[in-house]
Amino acid sequence: MIVGARIPDELKVKIEDICEREGKSVSSLVRELLEEYVKENEEEWSKEKICVRLPKMIVRQMHMFVDTGYASDVEGIIEESIRLWLRTMKSEYQEGWMEKLSRSLIGQM
C-alpha cells in the first residue's frame, strides 16, 4: 500500500533534520508515526455506533448517578450497563443460537 501526502517544504526540512539527528530514514520515521497513530485509534475505529432511545426517567437517574459522583459521565454508565448485559448473556450462551434465531424469525413470517 502506498500512502501519499503533500508536505510543505519547510516541514520537509524539519522532518529531514529530525531523521538525521535520530539516525533514521524519513520513510521509517513516517512508518513508525503511522503505526503509533493506528494503534492509538484502532479501538475507536472498531467500535460500532448505535442509537438507543431511553425513557426520560432512566436518563434522569443516570444524571443523578453523575451528579452524586457515582459515575463520571452518562456515556460511562451506558457502556458499563452494556458490558454487564453482555457478560450475563455470555454466561447464558447456548450452542446453536443462530439457528434458533433463524427458525424463530422464519416462523414469524
Instruction: Give the amino acid at 79.
Output: E
State residue 94's pLDDT score. 63
Exposed / middle / buried, residue 60 (Cβ in 10 Å: 0-12, 13-18, 19+)? exposed
3-state secondary structure of 24: coil
Give me the helix-helix angle, 26-46 and 9-22, nearest 10°.
100
Determine which helix (DSSP H) or strand (DSSP E) holds 58, and give its type and residue range.
helix 56-67
Q: Which residues contact 52 (CB under 8 A, 6 or more apart)?
A: 78
Question: Is the Cβ–Cβ distance between 11 and 18 less than 8 Å?
Answer: no
Confidence of residue 2 (pLDDT cuts 50, 70, 90): low
pLDDT tens-digit map of 55-102: 888 888 888 888 888 888 888 888 887 777 777 766 566 666 777 777
Say what the pLDDT of residue 44 is. Answer: 75
What pLDDT is attached to residue 90?
Answer: 65
How many angstroms separate the CA atoms of 74 and 23, rounded? Answer: 47
